[in-house]
Amino acid sequence: MFGLMVRFTCKDEVAAAAFDDLVARTGEQIRAHEPGTVIYTVHRVDGRPLQRVFYELYRDEEAFEVHESKDYVRAFLSERDQYLSGTEVDRLDFVSGKGVDVEQ
């Protein structure tokens, strides 16, 4: 397993709405075309309306590389910055958990 936790801060409410739309369109493609992407969730942060947290879990680093190579992900990466004032990325090494099959 390989994962990421990413915190995005949007510029303002209008940018946040546009970012959420971009995220929704990209998420549809991820669900449809990425069997190696185990979890790809997006959260609003309570009390911080301009922040979004992504939790991403991939079968392995190869599945993450496949994810990153997709046209729709590259489009997301190139479009997102116009809506954001900040991005923080943490790479995660899976230790244990519930709801994931570590034998994948």
Write down all domains in the chain, each with its CATH number in brackets.
Answer: 2-92 (3.30.70.100)
Q: pLDDT, tens digit, for every residue of 59-93?
A: 999 999 999 999 999 999 999 999 999 999 999 98
pTM: 0.90
CB 58 within 8 A of CB 37: yes
The answer on pLDDT for 1 being more than 80 is: yes
H-type helices in 1-103, by residue range? 13-33, 61-69, 71-79
With a cut of 80, say whether residue 58 has pLDDT above it: yes
